[in-house]
Amino acid sequence: MLLSYIRGIYLVVCGLLFVPSRVQAEALRFEEAVGLVQHASAVKSSSMALETRRDSDDGIGGTAGPMQFSFMPGFRPHPAESKGFEFQANFSESFSLEDLGGARRESAKKERQAIAAEVQANLLSSRLEIARAWLALWRIEKLRGMAADATKLTETFLSAIERAQKLGEATVLDVESARSHLAELKMKSLDLEGMQFYQVLKLCETMGRKPNTKLTTKGDPPRVALPKHFDTPSLIARVDALPSVQYARLLRDSAKARVSEADASVAPMFQIGAQVQRESPTSWLGFGLVGISVPVSNAAKRQVSQHLEEVERLNVAKDKARRDGQAQLLAAIHEVEHETRLLRLVTKEALPSVTNLVDAQEKALAANEGSVFQLVTARRQWIATRELSTLSQEALSWAKIKLWLLMKALHNRGSSK
């Protein structure tokens, strides 16, 4: 009995310790979500790499190699008057005639500048990813709300049609038309629920946070200030200021610096030093050391060749980054203009027209001049147009935010120490 009692207490304690904590509901505004960009994996990784390089590169010295020490002990056995302990001690330091230490420091500096540009590129791309994920979640939430409202309306409508059928005022076709429409709305709601679940996970991932299935958006997308007319040639001319283009250019420059470093590593070395010698029994001698070492073959030829290959590849990558940046700016400008026209068309023409169609079909049905099928068809069209309006709002918000972030990046330059 006592053993069973202890086992029961043990299981209860384990259950309390290992029950997963409840997920807390959380609502994030757009600005709050984008403000978490520093926690994004790519940003955190490159930022930590930059800090490590800044700390470690401080130890890069200016000499070509380490200072050398040597000590040679000895013993003189005869003649007897000179018998005793002897030694030689010397040290020397090497200096590159092509400043190998300076080449190393310059190469490290260029690499740090490339990593700093990578940080800025990751900040921009992560902001864009978070913005896109937040807007997609906002759109799904809006569509779910619309689907829920339409479902309630259709349920009420179906109940009325079923009552009318019992009174002989509606047909089986009328009832089945309403039922099929209700089934469609329920399936759409279920589909949107699944989409929302996965979109929440995606938003958490882009923000570098643990999954929180209770996360929702709060408020509407921000209204960013954009010029009424875009000076496209001027924007394209500043494409080199985009972080991705700067990163590609600095990667190429760091590869060039490694070529210079590799060349300097096989340059002639100038050596200076000193030597002390003790001769038994009491004699002491001192010498100065001066020398030069000249390589007879280029031992770094393979290393230089590899770096030159890297430079050529990165030259092509730099040109591609410029073209990609230009295309990105042109596409962003076009999307803003295109989505503006589309949203205006949907809200000013399509939505009012289909709303009037639904009103007309409801009045016709009330006057026994229409059918339930015609009304359900009109409502399907009305729901689809409302969904298109929400999609257009999201698309225009995304286009404006993307262009705003790109234009802002054209004027911001990150630290490159």
The residue with greater pLDDT, 178 or 104, is 178
pLDDT averaged over the chain?
86
Q: Specify the pLDDT at position 197.
A: 96
pLDDT band at 6 (very low <50, low <70, confident <90, very high): very low
Q: What would the mean pLDDT of 144-161 be, rounded to a whole number?
A: 93
Q: Specify the pLDDT at position 15.
A: 42
Q: Which of 221, 219, 235, 228 is nearest to 340 (CA)?
A: 228
Measured CA to CA, the distance from residue 207 to residue 41 in angstroms comes to 8
pLDDT band at 11 (very low <50, low <70, confident <90, very high): very low
Taking only the tens place, the pLDDT of each residue in 38-88 is: 999 999 999 999 999 998 888 777 666 677 888 888 787 777 777 778 878
Q: What would the mean pLDDT of 372-391 be, rounded to a whole number?
A: 93
Taking only the tens place, the pLDDT of each residue in 221-234 is: 999 988 888 888 98
Q: What would the mean pLDDT of 189-217 be, rounded to a whole number?
A: 94
pLDDT band at 276 (very low <50, low <70, confident <90, very high): confident
Taking only the tens place, the pLDDT of each residue in 299-356 is: 667 788 888 899 999 999 999 999 999 999 999 999 999 999 999 999 999 999 999 9
Measured CA to CA, the distance from residue 9 to residue 6 in angstroms comes to 5
Cis peptide preceding 281, ω within 30 of 0: yes
Sign of the torsion angle spanned by Cα atoms 392, 396, 397, 399: positive
pTM > 0.85: yes or no: no
- CB burial of residue 248 (10 Å; 0-12, 13-18, 19+): buried
Question: What region does 84 belong to: left with phi over 0, alpha with psi -120 to 50, or beta?
Answer: left
Strand partners, 293: 269
